[in-house]
Amino acid sequence: MQTEHRRAEMSPVPACLSFGLVLGTLVCAPVVSADIDLTRLRRLDRVIETAIQEGVMPGAVIVVGHAGEIVYERAFGARSIGTGADGTAEEMTLDTVFDLASLTKVIATTTSIMQLVERGRVRLGDRVADYLPGFDNYGKGPITLVHLLTHTSGLAPDLPLEEVFEGSETGLGRTFVQVPVAEAGERFVYSDLNFMLLAHIVERVSGQSFDRFAQEHLFSPLGMVETWFNPPVALRERIAPTERCAALAWPCGDPEAPMLRGRVHDPTARRMGGVAGHAGLFSTARDLARFCAMLIAGGAYEGGQLLTPLSVARMTTVSTPSHLSDKRGLGWDIDSRFSSNRGDLFSVGSYGHTGFTGTSLWLDPESETFVIFLSSRLHPLGTGDVRALRGEVATLVASALHD
């Protein structure tokens, strides 16, 4: 049965998207790129198909952009295994909507904060407590926005997942009573709490809900028309499911619980109503290509400038203290214990991020290349592991580049 659903949906190579047209009307334009080996690039087919056969994930969508063109775009395997109305599997398609998990941090949250920085509404060195009064108890007073963006705040990785709560403000209140596990700037501790707080700062400063701000100032300008928090029910059939889980439960896996499909997998974001700074965003590969194209172009897109080139450079330059071995930009990963999705060949000047559900972005401005890897590796039983695969994909893409 599985073999029947490993057939890939693929755009012709040369592909029909250019970076400029990704941000505008879709028309076909042949890829002419002397500095990429398309034969090497097609080795991705075998690698992904083998991973599906080995049960690493049920399916995936891979998009590679290079030098102004989409040079590889393909859907593999199954979007869903036995969760359709008739209990049959559903084939993966290029327009599949994925739970992006922690990609939310860099796509929605970091970008929103940098837009507010550009407008003079916040400063990176400002204390969190300046925007969220009452946060500064238990020694949290020195924590700044830079500490949140670089995961050097000293806050714990997450709220206690065994403690059920409901509501965004309740979740925020629980961060206020957290006792730091380290002093600000002392250690790198990857923490969802950092980006939960940043989203609330966006709300307090802008006067808009976080999802509304991101929609109005980021997704709509870029034409990311299939990117949302809490995606519409009408799109459920195109959304890649994750696991069976009750509404506020953790861990997932109860065989009697409904399959999460269009409802965020992350338990803290779920308990906060699906809108949070650390998780909750859903999107498609083609929408993410628009976002990556904007970053490669230094914040420019067809019709405007979402961020200035200096903002993009600031986000993607090492901003962690020099004594730390984990090198992070603002939001973005550069060279840390979590950057295996860079692969073995992209330089440390490149940057990216991963998502717990099996998603990944990696961008190399030097070669004008980006790699989008989207899977629902948790489906159906929460056992898939794509960490090594994401790095292998990035290495294969980099190996196809010529000087």
Confidence of residue 127 (pLDDT cuts 50, 70, 90): very high
- 3-state secondary structure (DSSP) of residue 8: coil
Q: Where are the beta strands (DSSP E) in 217-288?
A: 228-229, 281-283
Distance of CA 2 to the CA centre of its chain: 28
pLDDT tens digits, 299-345: 999 989 999 999 999 999 999 999 999 999 999 999 999 999 999 99
Q: How is the chain split into domains, by residue range?
A: 2-101+214-303+333-399, 106-209
pLDDT tens digits, 219-257: 999 999 999 999 999 999 999 999 999 999 999 999 999
pLDDT tens digits, 8-41: 454 433 344 455 444 433 333 334 456 899 999 9
Confidence of residue 402 (pLDDT cuts 50, 70, 90): confident
Does residue 47 contact residue 392 with C-beta atoms inside 8 Å? yes
Token pair 């939310």: residue: 104
Distance of CA 184 to the CA centre of its chain: 25
Bond into 251 cis (ω within 30): yes
Instruction: Give me the phi and psi of 181, to 5 degrees please.
Output: -95, -10
Question: What is the end-to-end Cα distance of the chain in Å, rounded?
Answer: 44
Read out DSSP for 157-189? SSS-TTS----HHHHHHHHHTPPPSS-TTT---
What pLDDT is attached to residue 230?
Answer: 97
Look at 104-108, 369-373, 399-403 and tell me which has the smallest mean pLDDT: 399-403
Query: Which architecture, in CATH terms, is 2-101+214-303+333-399?
Result: 3-Layer(aba) Sandwich (3.40)
Q: 343 - beta bridge partners?
A: none
C-alpha atoms less than 13 angstroms from C-alpha of 98 in its C-beta half-sphere:
35
Q: What is the dihedral of CA 302, 308, 313, 314, to 10 degrees?
A: -140
Name the residue among 108, 296, 294, 267 with its Cα closest to residue 202.
Answer: 108
What pLDDT is attached to residue 33?
Answer: 59
Does residue 379 contact residue 89 with C-beta atoms inside 8 Å? no
Token pair for residue 314?
């600031």
Residues 73, 92: Cα–Cα separation, whole Å: 13
Residue 357, burial from CB neighbour count under 10 angstroms (0-12, 13-18, 19+): buried
